[in-house]
Amino acid sequence: MTVRTRFAPSPTGYMHIGGMRTALFNWLFARHNGGKFILRIDDTDQQRNLDAALGPILDAFRWLGLDWDEGPEVGGDHGPYFQSQRGEFYKRAVTQLLESGAAYQDFETPDEIKVQREAAQAEKRTYLSSRVSLQLSPAERANKAAAGDAHVIRLLVDRQRKVSVEDHVRGHVEWDCGLMADPVICRSDGSPLYNFATVVDDIALQISHVIRAEEHLTNTAVQLLIYDALGAKTPEFAHIPFVAAPGTTKKLSKREIGKYRNNPQFKKLFDIADQILPAIGQSVSDAMNPVMVSFYEEVGFLPEAVLNALSRLGWSYDDKTENMPLDFVVQNFSLERVVKGPAGLDCDKLLAYQEHWMGQLPLEQKVEQCLPYLVKAKRISEPVDAAARAFVARLVTALGERLKLFGDIVQYSEYFVADDILEYDEKAFDKRLTQDPAACGLLRGFRDRLAGAEPFDAATLESLLNAYVTERGVGLGAVIHALRVAVTGKAAGPGMFDCLALVGRERCVSRIDRALQRVN
RNA sequence: GGCCCCAUCGUCUAGCCCGGUCCAGGACAUUGGAUUUUCAGUCCAAGAACAGGGGUUCAAAUCCCCUUGGGGUCACCA
User: Which 391-430 residues of chain A approach strand B with CB closer than 7 Å?
Assistant: 400-402
A492: CB within 7 A of chain B nucleic strand: yes
Asked if A6 and A26 count as a contact pair (C-beta separation under 8 A), the reply is yes
Give the per-residue pLDDT at A320. 92
Note the CA–C1' distance, A294 to B36, in angstroms. Answer: 38
- Non-local CB neighbours of A115 within 8 Å, separated by 6+ positions: none
Is A444 strand, coil or helix? helix
Is A23 strand, coil or helix? helix
Nucleotide nearest to A152 (CA to C1'): B76
Asked if A292 and A252 count as a contact pair (C-beta separation under 8 A), the reply is no
Q: Which residue is nearest to nucleotide B15 (CA to C1')?
A: A319
What is the percent of chain A with per-residue pLDDT over 90, rounded to a whole number? 88
Query: How many Cβ atoms are within 10 Å of A431's Cβ, its own excluded?
Result: 16
Within 7 A of a protein CB, which nucleotides of strand B? 1-8, 10-16, 25-29, 37-41, 70-78
What is the pLDDT averaged over residues A252-274? 91
Q: Which of A137-141, A245-249, A322-326 has the highest mean pLDDT?
A: A322-326
What is the pLDDT averaged over residues A78-94? 94
d(CA A238, CA A207): 13
Query: How many Cβ atoms are within 10 Å of A494's Cβ, its own excluded?
Result: 19
User: In one letter, which amino acid is A342?
Assistant: P
Catalytic residue among A91, A251, A254, A268: A254
A111: CB within 7 A of chain B nucleic strand: no
What is the pLDDT averaged over residues A156-170? 94
pLDDT tens for A188-224 read 999 999 999 999 999 999 999 999 999 999 999 999 9
Q: Is A254 a catalytic residue?
A: yes
User: Which 114-153 residues of chain A approach strand B with CB closer than 7 Å?
Assistant: 117, 124, 126, 150, 152
What is the pLDDT averaged over residues A324-337? 97
Q: Which residue is nearest to nucleotide B69 (CA to C1')?
A: A249
User: In one letter, which amino acid is A315?
Assistant: W
Residue A461 backbone phi and psi in degrees, to 5: -65, -35
A110: CB within 7 A of chain B nucleic strand: yes
pLDDT tens for A359-415 read 999 999 999 999 999 999 999 998 999 999 999 999 999 999 999 999 999 999 999
What is the percent of chain A with per-residue pLDDT over 70, rounded to a whole number? 99
Nucleotide nearest to A83 (CA to C1'): B78
Give the per-residue pLDDT at A84. 92
Note the CA–C1' distance, A323 to B25, in angstroms. Answer: 17
Residues in a beta bridge with A4? A36
Note the CA–C1' distance, A315 to B39, in angstroms. Answer: 35
Residue A166 backbone phi and psi in degrees, to 5: -100, 90
User: Which 168-197 residues of chain A approach strand B with CB closer than 7 Å?
Assistant: 170-171, 173-176, 179, 181, 184, 187-189, 191, 193-195
What is the pLDDT averaged over residues A326-352? 95
When the pLDDT of each residue in chain A is averaged and rounded to a whole number, the result is 94
Q: Please give the full DSSP string across A83-147, using - where no structure is assigned.
A: GGG-HHHHHHHHHHHHHHTSEEEE---HHHHHHHHHHHHHTT-------GGGGS-HHHHHHHHHT
A214: CB within 7 A of chain B nucleic strand: yes
Residue A46: pLDDT band (50, 70, 90) is low
Residue A45: pLDDT band (50, 70, 90) is low
Taking alpha carbons only, the member of A311, A330, A332 closest to residue A322 is A311
- Non-local CB neighbours of A216 within 8 Å, separated by 6+ positions: A239
| pLDDT at position A312 over 90 | yes
pLDDT tens for A471-512 read 998 889 889 999 999 999 999 999 999 999 999 999 999 999
Residue A48: pLDDT band (50, 70, 90) is low
User: Which 446-475 residues of chain A approach strand B with CB closer than 7 Å?
Assistant: none
- Non-local CB neighbours of A326 within 8 Å, separated by 6+ positions: A65, A304, A307, A311
User: Which 279-338 residues of chain A approach strand B with CB closer than 7 Å?
Assistant: 312-314, 316, 318-320, 322, 337
| pLDDT at position A47 over 70 | no
